[in-house]
Amino acid sequence: MKKAMTKRVQVEGNDMRTEYDYEGGVRGKHYKAMQAGYTVTIHKADGTTTVKDVVPKECAVVLEPDIQAYFPDSESVNRTLRCLIPLLPPKRRAKAKKA
């Protein structure tokens, strides 16, 4: 026997189907686990399996979606941050590491 679907009021401009229910969802639920690294297992059609360990770069920064609209690439983020550094009080300025 099929479950009866509850009808939800669709908000104008919302393309999400009525049968999708994200009520009670948690944003960023797996964020910390992903930052710790994860393993991807790829099962190929020829029967072989490839395992890849994925670890994010130590200096990786994740931008929120609303910020990404203003900073499409690393260059634009770095340029903006360089403009903000002189505005920081001297105590907060960290000495740049030499590569």
pLDDT tens, position by position, 8-21? 554 556 677 878 88
pLDDT of residue 45: 93
Confidence of residue 44 (pLDDT cuts 50, 70, 90): very high
Contacts of 44-50 with CB under 8 Å at 24 or more apart are: none
Q: Are 79 and 72 a contacting pair, CB within 8 Å?
A: no
Distance CA 68, CA 32 (A): 20
Question: Mean pLDDT, to the nearest integer, of 88-92?
Answer: 79
Please tell me the total number of residues recorded for the chain in this structure: 99
pLDDT in tens, 47-71: 999 999 888 777 777 788 888 889 8
